[in-house]
Each structure stands twice: as C-alpha cells, then as structure tokens.
A and B are shown apart, each in its own frame.
Chain A
Amino acid sequence: AQSVAQPEDQVNVAEGNPLTVKCTYSVSGNPYLFWYVQYPNRGLQFLLKYITGDNLVKGSYGFEAEFNKSQTSFHLKKPSALVSDSALYFCAVRALIKAEGNKLTFGGGTRVLVKP
C-alpha cells in the first residue's frame, strides 16, 4: 500500500527566509508526486507535480520541489517566504501500477506559519 509521511506538523519561518516542507513516500514502483495547499475553509489548490524527468520541479507562486528517489523524498521549497504563504500544505502520491488504483494518498499535512 502507498503512504506519505510529513514529519513536521508545523513549520515556522520569518518572512523573506527560505521555506522547506518535508515529505517522504512509500509506493510500489515509480511514483507520481504532488503538492497541494489549503487555505482556511477552502479546498485544496494544486501547486506542482513530479511525473518524470528533471528532479527539480517548479510550480505556482514561486514554489519548487526536489524529487530524490534514493531517499524517497519530495520536499517542497520556496527561496523567500511570504506572510501570504501561511497555510496547510499536503504532499500526495499516486502509484503507476494498476493494483494501487487511481487514488491519491495524502500525508497528514504541515501547517506553515510565516511571521512578518
């Protein structure tokens, strides 16, 4: 069965500093990996995805993520955080093999708080 771990419940960072949100995954075969962001009382918004190719993926709002197959990680990064980046971030994985179906499996989420 596929799974995702987000080891930090909350990440605090000062505005202008680099932001990193950690994610590790477990899946049979090669993964599709996704990051979503959720603002209060709203649905999830897609940020970026890794399918294949370059290990560094760039997404919306200046976010990027690095796929590391040997460490089974897909950490989300932003070089300079903004107060408006404060939200709940979810990492998700989908396996390529048919046995795992088409569902996304999400991590438990990491709350990011960017202080002015």
Chain B
Amino acid sequence: DTGVSQDPRHKITKRGQNVTFRCDPISEHNRLYWYRQTLGQGPEFLTYFQNEAQLEKSRLLSDRFSAERPKGSFSTLEIQRTEQGDSAMYLCASSLVEPFYEQYFGPGTRLTVT
C-alpha cells in the first residue's frame, strides 16, 4: 500500500538548531499539504502545493519555516533556529486536485525541541 510517508517519525533537537522533514505523497496526487498538530488540538494548516507551486501559506508559517516541493513529488519542511514552541506533530497530506477529494494523511513527524 503506497500511502503518504514521512521521515523521520521522531526528531529531538536542541533549541536553535535547524531541522528538515520529508514527505512522500501518494504518487498520483498533485496536491500536498502540511499541517501542525499540538497535543490535544486539531491539526492547523501551514501550507500547500499544487505540483511544485506553493499556492497558499498560513500566517502560522513564520519566516523560520520554509517548504519546498522541487519536482512536484516529495516535499520538505525546514524549520530554522528551532524554538520550544515549535514542538508539535507535523503532518503531511496529499490529495487529487479537485477540492471535494479527501486528503490522505501520513503518520506525522513528532518534533521535540529541548
């Protein structure tokens, strides 16, 4: 089953360090989304791509965050100069283009900033 995969599953880093996460979407899906989920909360939208174009960014996405999808396949999310408030589960999802198609989520990357 080729679902959405994310790597790594867990990341522990010290405050001030940079981290990068990878997401591989379902192969035929053109759209790729990043969400952040903190404990006890629902996921919050960060950004999304259609193919390689980043079409929307949330105000939650500070200047320390950057996302890329260079060839329209996998995507990376980088956080520079991590802060303790960045500790969360980072979820990636993918979908087909039409808006009524559901998004399929990966298992997430849990980031802990110490």
List residues of chain A with CB under 8 Å of any chain B CB. 4, 32, 34, 36, 41-46, 49, 51, 90, 92, 94, 96, 101-109
Residues in A neighbouring B107, C-beta threshold 8 A? 41-43
- The CA-CA distance from A49 to B91 in the complex, in Å, is 20
- The CA-CA distance from A49 to B102 in the complex, in Å, is 8
Please state if A46 and B102 are interface contacts (CB–CB under 8 Å). yes
Interface centre among A32, A41, A44, by most B CB within 10 Å? Answer: A44
Please state if A43 and B4 are interface contacts (CB–CB under 8 Å). yes
Please state if B42 and A109 are interface contacts (CB–CB under 8 Å). yes
Please state if A106 and B44 are interface contacts (CB–CB under 8 Å). yes
Among A41, A92, A105, A109, contact of B41 (Cβ-Cβ < 8 Å) = A109
- The CA-CA distance from A34 to B100 in the complex, in Å, is 10
Residues in A neighbouring B48, C-beta threshold 8 A? 101-103
List residues of chain B with CB under 8 Å of any chain A CB. 4, 31, 33, 35, 40-45, 48, 55-56, 58, 91, 93, 99-100, 102-108
**Interchain residue pairs with CB less than 8 A apart (12):** A32-B100, A43-B4, A44-B93, A46-B104, A51-B100, A94-B99, A96-B99, A102-B31, A102-B55, A102-B56, A103-B58, A104-B45
- The CA-CA distance from A45 to B108 in the complex, in Å, is 12
Among A45, A49, A92, contact of B100 (Cβ-Cβ < 8 Å) = A49
Please state if B43 and A44 are interface contacts (CB–CB under 8 Å). yes
- The CA-CA distance from A92 to B37 in the complex, in Å, is 14
Residue of B nearest to A43 (CB): B105
Residues in A neighbouring B108, C-beta threshold 8 A? 42-43
- The 3 A-B pairs at the shortest CB distance, nearest first, are namely A106-B42, A103-B45, A43-B105
Residue of A nearest to B10 (CB): A41
- The CA-CA distance from A19 to B114 in the complex, in Å, is 40
Q: How far is the CB of B34 from chain A (nearest CB, A)?
A: 10
Residues in A neighbouring B56, C-beta threshold 8 A? 101-103
